[in-house]
Amino acid sequence: MIEADGSVYPCDFYCLDQYKVGNIKDSKFSDLRRQAIVQEFLTSRKGLSDYCQQCPFLKICHGGCKRMQDAMYVDENQEYCGYQELLKYFLPKINHILEYVH
């Protein structure tokens, strides 16, 4: 994420001082993306819930991004994942959709 002032962050949901990578006016993007804060952000993850670990789409989304993990809805009776809902709907139709791409 690049802010109007040139500040760079690893994600648009985490534009906080603790995640600031640098400024695009002062450094090349390729140098900024190699910063330790970016690598730490990308590799630090919460453990996946049982719901995620049993999901048939885990190999596609890998548990989602940090924001998705924070935004997963859980109630007393069932868990809900937006990625799973989308993929259940989309994947059975992929061949039909791809016909329009060619």
Yes or no: say if 2 and 18 are a contact pair by the CB < 8 Å rule. Answer: no
Report field, pTM of the whole predicted structure over 0.75: no
Which tens digits make up the pLDDT trace of 53-63? 889 998 888 77
Which tens digits make up the pLDDT trace of 72-87? 665 556 677 878 888 9
pLDDT of res. 33: 87
pLDDT of res. 17: 93
Positions marked active-site: 12
pLDDT band at 71 (very low <50, low <70, confident <90, very high): low
- Residue 28 CB coordination number (10 Å): 10
pLDDT band at 22 (very low <50, low <70, confident <90, very high): very high
Which tens digits make up the pLDDT trace of 24-50? 999 998 999 899 998 888 877 777 778
In angstroms, the CA 84 to CA 19 distance is 28
